[in-house]
Amino acid sequence: MIRVNSLSKKFNNLLAVDQVSFEVKQGEILGFLGPNGAGKTTTMKMLTCFIPPSSGTAEICGYSILDDPLQVRNQIGYLPESAPSYDEMLVGEFLKFIAEIRGYSGMELKRRVGIVIEKTSLSEVENQMIDTLSKGFRQRTCLAQALLHDPPVLILDEPTDGLDPNQKHEVRSLIKDMSEERTILISTHILEEVDAVCTSAMIIANGRVVGYGTPDELLSQSLYRNSVTVSLKNENPRKLLDDFNQLDFVYSVEHVQDDREDLVTMRLYPKNKESISRKLEEYLYKKNVQLEQFTVERGRLDEVFRQLTTED
């Protein structure tokens, strides 16, 4: 549904997007991650035919962004960064206006505007001027605009930016619900969002793709992958550290700050990031310890993100 082939964008001397290639299939939600200035928005602007690429190309539902820009725009619902719209219009007016531009009229126009107002919970502000909306409502108004023509592809540039936790949750559910018959590309700085909604994620830095995979594949690159944190009661930390270090499935052990005086907390990093929880449980059971906490980590996306985006 989205096929990007070696897309680049140069602004004067700055290579903002550098030979980016990727694909998104129907039903997939690809999370687009990267530090500020990495090139996410610029890539999205090229895919939505806002700006032309310097080189490379892309297809949306089989239509080329270079040869068929009008068809491409028909297939896409686009929520641009910072949700731009017309400040002096009322929310309902704005949506009708966009629906007209999209070619709808009469009952069909009314029906479509009604559907998106309901989907994005905008009815209470339908007659409010966009200029006076709170950030979250402004964001949702712009999201509603992107859904009017029921497009097969959605390109959403930081759709949950500035929303309160409840709204974030609602917008994520909405995105997930819509994903079955659609293809969605979303950029975000909220790493847990990737795990919560995306089927795969792509990390870019300085315009280049530096990481790609399912959330779990990315998590598997974390130093914390399958590490186990245990808190034990009434143990000698030195002795415990020695004992854990002797275990053949343990790569290294770290004494973690204890928040209670009677507890000793250790984090054990497995050899080859393999799962060690069963072996460790058996060991602790035999050792006859007083176990207060036992936590296995899947990995930390923020740490993987830092690894991939700060390397030279």
Ligand X SMILES: Nc1ncnc2c1ncn2[C@@H]1O[C@H](COP(=O)(O)OP(=O)(O)OP(=O)(O)O)[C@@H](O)[C@H]1O
Q: Is 288 a binder of ligand X (CB under 6 A)?
A: no
Output the smallest distance, CB 44 to ligand X, in A. Answer: 8
Write b or e for each residue in 106-139: b if 16 or more Cβ atoms lie within 10 A of its Cβ, otherwise e. Answer: eeebeebbeebbeebebeebeebebeebeebbbb
Q: Is 52 a binder of ligand X (CB under 6 A)?
A: no
Structure tokens at 214: 């399912």
In angstroms, the CA 308 to CA 72 distance is 32
Look at residues 181, 161, 2, 115 and name the one whose alpha carbon lies nearest to residue 172. Answer: 161
In angstroms, the CA 106 to CA 202 distance is 42
Q: Is 41 a binder of Mg ion (CB under 5 A)?
A: yes
> What one-character DSSP code corresponds to residue 26?
T
Stretch that binds ligand X, among 37-45, 85-93, 261-269, 270-278 (CB under 6 A): 37-45
Among 31, 34, 80, 215, binds ligand X (CB under 6 A): 34
38 contact, one of ligand X, Mg ion, none, CB 5-8 Å limit per kind: ligand X
Among 2, 7, 16, 99, binds ligand X (CB under 6 A): 16
Q: Is 141 a binder of ligand X (CB under 6 A)?
A: no
Q: Is 285 a binder of ligand X (CB under 6 A)?
A: no
> 3-state SS string over 188-227?
CCCHHHHHHHCCEEEEEECCEEEEEECHHHHHCCCCCCCC
CA dihedral 282, 284, 288, 294 (to 10 degrees): -120
For Mg ion, the closer of residues 113 and 209 by Cβ is 209
Do 224 and 196 form a contact (C-beta atoms < 8 A)?
Answer: no
Sequence-ordered alpha helix ranges (H) in 32-134: 40-47, 69-75, 91-101, 106-119
14 contact, one of Mg ion, ligand X, none, CB 5-8 Å limit per kind: ligand X
Q: Is 42 a binder of ligand X (CB under 6 A)?
A: yes
Q: Is 270 a binder of ligand X (CB under 6 A)?
A: no
**Residue type for position 113:** V
Among 2, 29, 33, 40, binds ligand X (CB under 6 A): 40
For ligand X, the closer of residues 42 and 265 by Cβ is 42
Write b or e for each residue in 216-253: b if 16 or more Cβ atoms lie within 10 A of its Cβ, otherwise e. Answer: eebbebbebbbbbbbbbeebeeeebeebbeebeebeeb
In angstroms, the CA 69 to CA 72 distance is 5
Output the smallest distance, CB 93 to ligand X, in A. Answer: 29
Q: Is 96 a binder of ligand X (CB under 6 A)?
A: no
Among 1, 24, 31, 39, binds ligand X (CB under 6 A): 39
Q: Is 42 a binder of Mg ion (CB under 5 A)?
A: no
Q: Is 36 a binder of ligand X (CB under 6 A)?
A: yes
Q: By rule CB under 6 A, what string of x and - marks binding of each residue 192-231 to ligand X?
A: ----------------------------------------
Q: Is 179 a binder of Mg ion (CB under 5 A)?
A: no
Binding site residues, ligand X, CB under 6 A = 11, 14, 16, 34, 36-42, 81
Residues that bind Mg ion (CB under 5 A): 40-41, 81
